[in-house]
Amino acid sequence: MHRELPDYLRPGLKVVFVGINPGELSARAGHYYANPRNAFWDCLYKSGLTNVKLAPIDDKKITEFDLGLTDRVKRWTRSANELKISDFRRGAEELRQRLDGRWPRVVAFNGKKGLEWILGYHPDLGPQPQRFGESRVFVLPSTSPANAVLPRPRKVAYFRALARWLEVDG
């Protein structure tokens, strides 16, 4: 059975992580980043954004760390390449609606593709000059195993940069 993943959002969060859309394993499990090869939970812990290593089954606990989770597009696919332009356009408006009234300090997009349809160009990784609603924006490299171009230590480094940015600028 494939499930739509719930949003883990509330007012006052430091960061909301925005995935592109749930993959098949996450949709089957009903938990974010459930593919054991996905680096998200490891990066989160190694960056110091959480002081315990969470697992996909713990995703609902993320707000205890003043962090949140959602996706740009809520429907699952085997690959983000299966998404259409219309999915991304509709997803941007739906994301704004989900965050309205509970804007975090930072919206962190897990992968450039989650943000490029909003901006109209390919963003660089790291902090962005634009805001998304009332939130600052940070682009992380996709933690998906499909993003094998960037090794895990480099992905962790971007999560650490986000943690530092929160301390200094966020």
What's the pLDDT at 2? Answer: 64
DSSP string, 35-95: STT--HHHHHHHTTSSSS---GGGGGGGGGGTEEEEESS-S--SSGGG--HHHHHHHHHHH
Kindly state the tokens that stand for 155.
């992905």
Over residues 76-111, the pLDDT tens digits come to 566 666 666 666 666 678 888 899 999 999 999 998
On the question of pLDDT at 44 being above 80, the answer is yes
Q: Which residue in 164, 45, 42, 40 sits closest to 109, CA to CA?
A: 40
Let me know if domain 15-168 sits in CATH 1.10.357.10. Answer: no
Domain ranges of the chain: 15-168
Backbone angles phi, psi at 162, to 5 degrees: -60, -45
Angle at 168 between CA 164 and CA 170, to 5 degrees: 90
Cα–Cα distance measured from residue 101 to residue 45, given in angstroms and rounded to the nearest whole number: 28
| Better pLDDT: 80 or 126 | 126
For Cα atoms 8, 13, 14, give the angle at the middle one, nearest 5 degrees.
125
